[in-house]
Amino acid sequence: MTTYDCDVLVVGGGIVGLSTAYALTQASPGTRVLVLEKENGPARHQTGRNSGVIHSGIYYKPGSLKARFAVRGAEEMVEFCARHGIAHEVTGKLIVATERAELPRLHALVQRGRENGIPVRELGPAQIAAYEPEVRGLAAIHVSTTGVCDYGAVAARLAELSGADVRYGAEVVRIDRRPELGVAVRTADGTVLRARALVNCAGLHCDRVARLAGDDPGVRIVPFRGEYYELARPGLVKGLVYPVPDPAFPFLGVHLTRGVDGSVHVGPNAVPAAAREGYDWRTVRPAELAGTLGWPGTWRIARRHWRYGAGELHRSWSKRAFTEAVRRLLPAVTEADLRPAPAGVRAQAVLRDGTLVDDFLIRESARTIHVLNAPSPAATASLPIGREVASRVLQTLPRS
């Protein structure tokens, strides 16, 4: 008879893996959950290197997982932070049109927000100034349910509350799956652990982990770095200020975010990263870069969106160009106001044909659930995502 070290083994101690662990023990007390995280603590990658925004859900296609989970997740995240004493604030946010060409897209967003059940208010220039005296725009919308929180602290609390055995410094390097027996995982130090089911929440490495398990993920994670500056005069911004997003690249567009500690972050942009954890231009991992360049989808994105890409690269290399982009929203800002701050890298799943997977993507195979696309707003939506993954994995668990 096979003996198992746990019922469910979760790869990845970011907010999605830890929320899944928490949801598993909530839904089915007594389930033995083991989380393996390669770093020496939780949330060292996307979860600990993001804008910290609790998104309202205004941007996402009605009915999509993103829309459903973000709207519900935002409310739950605020409650979770309040209940567990985690720094957070519901600040509201402005989405500001600075050019006439953006006005139809701003109106479409109002419509979308209403379809998603989100309270939105349309503002003219004078009302913009009432919220944000230094911000200039032709029109804006105010979304009252947006907030900020400390996602690293949320992840750490989920780890504690889950009661799971969370092991740090444990990189999964091999997976052996036998549908009738279960899953055996080997870590970099040679430890072998057996589980009845596996959940892959490996973020920037989720497609590789899927392949280790013998599954074809059908997507490749193409890493896009987001670089930030911190505002030396944080008093210039009171809350959260966003430009009108481009539907082709909803994650693009430098925004201004006052975090829970009162500092204001400016960014991120989006530039290709030469490593999955490539937090600066110097970090190059040839094998990972070759993997990205060898994916046909990468070249299709480059061909389709080179003009956009060139603009983003220019703003990455030229602080003056970056400052100019910020000045569209915040004319008072100068180059001297912008101090470099740590970057993050987004795990964006890309199809072979170059399509950026828009919605969250969760795939099942024998005894395994793979979370293959969990970009923004997955931190906001992490509690509902965790419940969804947990419910799917509990259904796959054999009764023996």
State the residues that interact with ligand FAD by CB under 6 A: 11-17, 36-39, 43-47, 49-53, 55, 171-172, 201-205, 209, 226, 268, 344-346, 374-380
> Hunting for tokens 């379809």 — which residue is that?
115
Least separation, in Å, of the C-beta of 177 and ligand FAD?
15
Least separation, in Å, of the C-beta of 353 and ligand FAD?
23
Least separation, in Å, of the C-beta of 1 and ligand FAD?
28
Nearer to ligand FAD, 93 or 142 (CB): 93
- In 3D, which of 252, 400, 380, 221 has the Cα closest to residue 315? 252
Nearer to ligand FAD, 55 or 363 (CB): 55
Nearest residue to ligand FAD by CB is 14
Contact status, residue 43 vs residue 14, Cβ threshold 8 Å? yes
How many angstroms separate the CA atoms of 21 and 159, rounded?
A: 8
Nearer to ligand FAD, 298 or 380 (CB): 380
How many angstroms separate the CA atoms of 124 and 148, rounded?
A: 25
How many angstroms separate the CA atoms of 242 and 140, rounded?
A: 9
Nearer to ligand FAD, 123 or 385 (CB): 385
Contact status, residue 212 vs residue 186, Cβ threshold 8 Å? no
Give Cα 245 to chain centroid, integer Å: 17
Least separation, in Å, of the C-beta of 269 and ligand FAD?
9
DSSP assignment letter at 246: B
Least separation, in Å, of the C-beta of 205 and ligand FAD?
4
Least separation, in Å, of the C-beta of 53 and ligand FAD?
3
Q: How many CB atoms lie within 10 A of CB 277?
A: 19
Nearer to ligand FAD, 15 or 123 (CB): 15
Least separation, in Å, of the C-beta of 166 and ligand FAD?
11
How many angstroms separate the CA atoms of 287 and 329, rounded?
A: 40
How many angstroms separate the CA atoms of 341 and 266, rounded?
A: 9
Nearer to ligand FAD, 139 or 208 (CB): 208
Residues 6+ apart with CB under 8 A from 190: none
Nearer to ligand FAD, 97 or 385 (CB): 385
